[in-house]
Amino acid sequence: MEQNKIKLQQTLLKIQNDSIQYLSSKADYEIAVNQYNRLDSLYKMGLKSLTDLEKRNLKMQETNAYLIAAKNKWMNSKNDFINLQIEAANILSDYESYSTKINSEIYTSLSSQLEAETSVSKLQNQYSNYSIRRGMYFILAPQDGYITKTFYSGIGETVKEGSPLVSIMPKEYQLAVQLYVKPLDLPLLASGRKVQIQFDGWPAVVFSGWPNASYGTYEGTVYAIDQFISENGKYRVLVREDSTNYPWPDALRFGGGTSNMIMLENVSIWYELWRNINGFPPEFYNQPTAEKPKK
């Protein structure tokens, strides 16, 4: 379009130049005609020769030829200007057509891209489903360990959803002692309290009430106390190893028995008597069980 505008300006200048040349040629022709007419009058009067008249006639014809050529050149310039105007319209039309085609191709490409993305998402979903199904061929434990018990032993047995399959003992574990405390003694117990532990199979000389004087016992520390009472009417307390004096034996395994001694808070005699007199039996905290219907 910019090139076409420049050509239009150049053509306008050319039209002006050709029109000036045409007017100049027209003036020369009119002068030549007047000169020929005067010379023809003088020839008729016998003042000029025929040769001079023929020369003037030739000159008039030449100026007429120049006039026709100038007019033809001027008309060609006008025609070129009209052609450039038509070309400008064609350029705009071609540009709009080409732009529309490009936009159509862009939208077609975007549509193809969306279809490809949809196909990729579908394939990814299908691949994920296949991976999940393939992973269902194996049942993996949440951590490394050892199988201690299997609940299904036969081949081809039907397993219901959510049913336990095996019991697993962790490979890496930290031993703890689980003991139960009566609700009456729980207010006098706190985390961090020292516990003297006697493990089954390890000989010890124990003096009840004097854990510091006992021999063969191991120390532990209370680190967790349940907030809810257990089914046996007592609160569960977890005790971990306190290796400041003697570490626990390496041969300990899950399920071993222990005898534990915990020093409670120091209280006055009258408070201890009052506490035991007003204490409730552990069975008071047991959950009531529904009676079986009679036959």
For the chain (295 residues), the mean pLDDT of every run of 10, in chain order, is: 86 87 87 85 80 83 88 89 87 89 93 93 93 81 85 83 86 89 86 88 66 71 91 92 83 85 83 76 53 64
Range of the domain at 272: 174-285
- The verdict on 120 and 49 lying in the same domain is yes
The token pair that represents 129 in the structure block: 């489903």
Residue 236 lies in a domain: yes
- The verdict on 260 and 150 lying in the same domain is no
Residue 66 lies in a domain: yes
Residue 167 lies in a domain: yes
- The verdict on 211 and 123 lying in the same domain is no
CA separation for the pair 115, 10 (Å, rounded): 52
C-alpha 66 chain-centroid distance: 81
pLDDT of residue 87: 87
pLDDT of residue 104: 93
Phi, psi for 259 (deg, rounded to 5): -120, 130
Give the count of domains, the chain: 3
pLDDT of residue 113: 93
Beta-carbon contacts of residue 229 (< 8 Å; ≥ 6 apart): 183, 235, 285
* 166 beta partners: 150
Element (H, E) at 167: strand 166-170
- The verdict on 53 and 83 lying in the same domain is yes
pLDDT of residue 38: 84
* Side chain identity, residue 274: W
Residue 295 lies in a domain: no
Residue 15: CB atoms within 10 A of its CB come to 19
Integer CA distances (angstroms), 87 to 9, 39, 218, 260, in order: 14, 51, 106, 107
The token pair that represents 141 in the structure block: 């434990």
- Look up the pTM and report it: 0.45
